[in-house]
Chains A and B, each alone.
Chain A
């Protein structure tokens, strides 16, 4: 039996009277890699942030890692322990070194000792190839290195689902590749991933499915080849012609 990692049914969300998410149905199986794309303002960030309770939804059902997310403190805490998130702006803790950034949650949330947490942190920092930089502060790292540390920090909690919100959009072009390579490696290890990105080459390479959103609704869902070559909706075709250049 394949476990369902994300099950959203009829999900709705409003920012006061603005309807941001409209009847979202989304199911993601364990090990599946989903790329979420769509024009700016279509609600991609809002959707992915609902998945770990950074935004609260107002209607419909949502279960993450088998836990019903009901906007209660307890369900949100449970879900956050099992999901990792990588942000566009890294959100590394500037007063902590790379390795300390990766140790704090294992120590405080999983209750590991300092030594155990350090071992875990070093393992994941090695996996994202920043093992030479672990004692540097974020300000001393390049953008690409910072984002890879942020990925290691999320992985250090051994999440069941990894959420990425445009992880390469804030990077200088020459650093995009190294972060995408790291993400490709993580994808190849069978991690369940939901990734908001406009990097269509990356989507083609790793995604099992591309989900296209427009104006708060999921408009089209298709395997990448199909989505890129024969998308059904005009909105998706318009979007593709725009991002491909």
Chain B
């Protein structure tokens, strides 16, 4: 009545892992683009833009990710956009990532010492040039470890997509578990998959933290 737990199941779950990585990658790319715009707007002079960005971050950070996913999933249909659920969910993850990356990067930009701006301005560099050549390159160093850390969280959070029926790693595990009735074996396999993807990133984050820490005196 139950199937035996076989390599076929593991390969099926590997497929789910592919979707997980795909979701996380879309969220990272989309979130990075929107997040960098948010970060720059957050430190801009224009108070209207600045507050709009703040409101966005406030709302998205204050909403449970699962609720955001439900809104994206049902909202896309409701407003009549005919997209695959997985696309709507990838977009929702991007919006979510943008809010967090935007804040991480704003913090990094603001933690570059003020003297760097004054040094740039005293030389006659424009605001845009000071950002591009002086402030942002230094902010990137500061932001790299927390950004990698957030990416690890993001990969793990994609498991929430299983709730709205996206067949990613956690969802494939549920399916296999139901079919084989070997939940412990199945979820240990899933945990191993998550670990294999996330652990190198954690190591990378630690390495970057150490390396960047020694560079700035």
Chain A contact residues, CB within 8 Å of chain B = 52-54, 77, 80-81, 83-85, 87, 89, 91-95, 104-105, 108-109, 139, 153-154, 157
**Tally of A-B Cβ pairs under 8 angstroms:** 60
Q: Is the CB–CB distance between A105 and B217 below 8 Å?
A: no
CA distance A153 to B122 in the complex (A): 11
Interface, chain B (partner A; CB < 8 A): 115-116, 118-126, 129, 133-134, 137-138, 141, 215-217
Q: List 18 A-B contacts (CB under 8 A).
A: A54-B121, A77-B124, A77-B126, A80-B122, A83-B122, A84-B122, A85-B122, A87-B119, A89-B115, A91-B119, A93-B120, A93-B138, A94-B216, A104-B125, A104-B133, A105-B125, A108-B125, A157-B123
A91-B115, A108-B133 given as contacts; is B125 within 8 A of A154 (CB)? no
Known: A54-B122, A109-B123. 14 other contacts (CB 8 A): A52-B122, A77-B126, A80-B123, A83-B122, A84-B123, A87-B122, A91-B116, A92-B119, A93-B134, A95-B138, A104-B133, A108-B129, A108-B133, A157-B124
Given A93-B134, A95-B138, A80-B124 contact (CB < 8 Å): yes
Residues of chain B within 8 A (CB-CB) of A52 are 122
Evaluate contact between A95 and B123: CB separation under 8 angstroms: no
With contact pairs A89-B115, A139-B217 given, residues A95 and B125 touching in the complex (Cβ less than 8 Å): no
Which residues of A sit under 8 angstroms from B118, Cβ to Cβ?
Answer: 54, 87, 91
Select which of A91, A92, A109 is within 8 A of B124 by beta carbon: A109
| A234–chain B nearest beta-carbon distance, Å | 35
* CB pair A104 B123 closer than 8 Å: yes
Q: In whole angstroms, what is the CA distance A83 to B215 when docked?
A: 32
Q: Is the CB of A95 within 8 A of B122?
A: no
CA distance A53 to B124 in the complex (A): 11
Q: How far is the CA of A53 from the CA of B134 in the complex (A)?
A: 19
| Complex: A77 Cα to B126 Cα, angstroms | 8
| CB neighbours of A87 from chain B (8 A) | 115, 118-119, 122
A84, B123: Cα distance in complex, Å: 7
Whether the Cβ atoms of B141 and A95 lie closer than 8 Å is yes
Chain A: minimal CB distance from B109 (Å): 14
For the complex formed, measure the closest distance between the CB of A204 and the CB atoms of chain B, giving whole angstroms.
27
Q: Which residue of B lies closest to A150 (CB)?
A: B119
Residues in A with CB closer than 8 Å to B125 are 104-105, 108-109
Name the residue among A87, A95, A153 with the largest chain B CB count within 10 angstroms.
A95
Find chain A residues with CB under 8 A from B123 CB.
80, 84, 104-105, 109, 153-154, 157
Measured CA separation A139–B217 after assembly (Å): 7
B120 contact set on A, CB distance < 8 A: 93
Q: How far is the CB of A25 from chain B (nearest CB, A)?
A: 24
- B124 near A95 with CB under 8 A, answer no
Shortest C-beta distance, B119 to chain A (Å), equals 3
State the Cβ distance, B132 to closest chain A Cβ, in Å: 9
Nearest-CB distance from B167 to chain A (Å)?
A: 44
Contacts of B133 in A (CB 8 A): 104, 108
Max chain B Cβ within 10 angstroms of own Cβ: one of A81, A83, A108, A109: A108
A84-B138 Cα distance, complex, nearest whole Å: 23
Q: Which residues of B contact A81 (CB under 8 A)?
A: 124
The distance from the CB of B1 to the nearest CB of chain A, in whole angstroms, is 64
